[in-house]
Structures are given as C-alpha cells and as structure tokens.
C-alpha cells in the first residue's frame, strides 16, 4: 500500500500557477482554486482537481499565486480554514509586503 500523497492547494491558475502545476503532480495532489471558469476547465484538462476554497483545510501546502492586490482578501479567506502545520507560501514578485500580510493575517 503506497502512502497518500501530500496535498497542495494552488490558489490562482494564471500563467505562473499553470507553470507550477505542470511540474508538481508527480509529487503532490494539486487542487486548483480559481474562480474563473476558464481556469477551472484548464485545470481539469490537465488532470488537476479544480476545487473551492474550502479544500485549503485538507491540504498540507498552500501556494498563493495571486496578484499582490488580491493577497489580503485571499489570506482572510484561508486563515480560518488552515489546518495546524500547513505551510503557506507565495509567488508574488515582491517579498516584503506579502510576508508582512501573511504575518498580520495568519
């Protein structure tokens, strides 16, 4: 019996989210969270799991691939859902503001 793969909630399926998702499925079960129906269809076409924000509570890893302006609202959405020990990371091109927001909100 093989162990259950770790789960990743990928929030945002734009260009960078799609790039990341192209490389992670052999290592993690990737759940794609993006409100855009086209993004959800693209995720499904790649064999990924389109999901709602609530899946964050079942994931070991959360990767935020959203624009800086969307980061605070997303953090407020996921904060009550995160499980203890979950790792939250971002791919925003700047680092100081996202780090400050994550410390403030999470």
When pLDDT is averaged across residues 38-59 and rounded to a whole number, the result is 94
What pTM did the predictor assign? 0.90
User: What confidence tens digit (pLDDT) does each residue in 17-37 have?
Assistant: 999 999 998 889 999 999 999
CB 51 within 8 A of CB 31: yes
Question: Residues of the chain with pLDDT > 70: what percent?
Answer: 97
Instruction: Quote the strand ranges of the chain, DSSP E.
Output: 7-11, 29-33, 49-50, 61-64, 87-90
Residue with tokens 């609202």: 73
Provide CB contacts within 8 A for 11, sequence distance 6+.
17, 33, 34, 53, 56, 62, 63, 64, 65, 66, 74, 78
Please report which confidence band the pLDDT of residue 93 belongs to, taking 50, 70 and 90 as the band edges.
confident
């Amino acid at each position: 019996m093989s162990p259950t793969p770790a789960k990743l909630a990928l929030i945002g399926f734009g260009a960078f989210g799609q790039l990341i998702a192209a490389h992670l499925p052999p290592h993690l079960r990737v759940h794609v969270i993006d409100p855009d129906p086209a993004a959800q269809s693209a995720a499904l076409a790649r064999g990924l799991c389109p999901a709602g924000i609530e899946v964050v509570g079942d994931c070991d890893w959360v990767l935020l691939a959203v624009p800086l302006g969307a980061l605070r609202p997303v953090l407020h959405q996921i904060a009550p859902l995160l499980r203890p020990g979950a790792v939250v990371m971002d791919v925003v091109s700047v680092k100081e503001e996202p780090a400050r927001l994550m410390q403030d909100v999470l």
